[in-house]
Amino acid sequence: MLKMWRIFSVLLLASLSLGNGEVPKNAPQGDTKIKTNVPVKSKTDSDSQQNNSPPVAAPAPIPSDSNSIHENQREMEKGTEFFLLLGYRFKITDVLLVLFTGLLWWSTQKLWKETKHSSSISEKSANAALLTAQNMQITERAYVKMSHTDPGLVPIKGETTESYKVEVKIENCGKTPALVTEVRLRFMLRDWDESLPPTIDYPDSDSAERPSSAFLVPGDYFFVTRNSHNDKHRVVSKDSKRLLLFGYIDYTDVFGQQHRAGYAREYMTVKGNNLFLVAAKGYNYDRPRKETDRQDQDAIES
């Protein structure tokens, strides 16, 4: 083995010398033959040497063309996920997410505005419909009023007494039926310089002959008669006091609303119609009936 290493070293030095163009110092000149002690290797020896040589590692497999294409494609895709804008690097997916969120906010705000606008229109339509219904009730409901027949107060002379009589007409002047539930009339004396009463009491002794209820279709009516006392006739004939006639009607219209209509007249000693309208505020009216209204009293609203 040592001999083989020596031979290999000599050959290596010889090859280096030949490669550099130098001849070894001890090499013979001319046709001088150089004898060497290097034995000639036979074919069998070289084959056995090759079989005894250590194994050499196989080179790494070269990637195929398809793998290279996929790798290049992935590299290109990584490069296209970002873009530059105004010196900033943005990711495409993040930008798309921001754009989608902004579009969603814009559409939601627009939908909210449209809903609010529609709600406002619906509210206005509902208010208009309610106002129309209220106006229809006002124009189509029943209106029951009191009016006296001519000439108004009629003197009644007896053998020993004198009094007045009045006949009052209760009529439905509206467009729909009404149910009359109460009718009251009362004569009242007042001094000439005395103001009108803020409340009018209707005791049972002064109540008119009235029906407990009456159903009146549009244009229908009935009459109520009332007589005064003797003392009223005497003072009125002397013009020492004012003679007033007050009254009211309670009725319910076809829409279920309750109403009260007031009546006030003053007697004048003239020929023809002798009952004149009391022009003070609150005595001639038609208003919704209140829970505080009483049958034996009428509070005047000033």
Which pLDDT tens digits describe the chain residue by residue (302 residues)? 555 555 545 444 444 444 444 444 454 444 444 444 545 455 545 555 555 555 555 555 555 556 666 666 666 555 557 777 777 777 888 888 888 998 999 999 889 988 888 888 888 889 888 888 888 888 899 999 999 999 999 988 877 677 889 999 999 999 999 999 999 999 998 999 999 999 999 876 555 556 667 999 999 999 998 888 776 666 676 678 899 999 999 999 999 999 999 999 999 988 889 999 999 999 999 999 999 998 888 988 87
On the CB side of 64, how many CA atoms lie within 13 Å of its CA? Answer: 3
Residue 57's Cβ-count burial label (10 Å; 0-12, 13-18, 19+) is exposed
Rounded CA-CA distance 245/208 in Å is 12
Taking the domain 144-299, which CATH number applies? Answer: 2.60.40
Question: What is the rounded CA–CA span in Å between residue 295 and residue 184?
Answer: 8
pTM higher than 0.75: no
pLDDT at 283: 95
**Cα–Cα distance, 57 to 63 (Å, whole number):** 18
pLDDT on residue 4: 53
pLDDT of residue 86: 76
Largest CA distance in the chain: 202
Task: Enumerate the domain spans of the chain.
Answer: 144-299
What is the C-alpha to C-alpha distance for residues 245 and 26, in angstroms, rounded to an integer? 172
Contacts of 176 (CB under 8 A, 6+ apart): 140, 141, 142, 218, 253, 254, 255
Spatial separation of the C-alpha atoms in residues 290 and 297, rounded to whole Å = 13
- In angstroms, the Cα distances linking 110 to 67, 97, 115, 116, 287 are 51, 20, 9, 10, 48
Amino acid at 281: K
Strands (E), 28-177: 82-85, 88-91, 144-148, 154-157, 162-172
Q: Residue 17's pLDDT is what?
A: 44
Q: Can you give the pLDDT at residue 262?
A: 95
Q: What is the pLDDT of residue 11?
A: 47
Give how far the C-alpha of residue 113 lies from the chain's centroid of Cα atoms, to the nearest Å.
11
The pLDDT score that the predictor gives to residue 176 is 95
Task: In whole angstroms, give the CA distance from residue 150 to residue 31.
Answer: 182
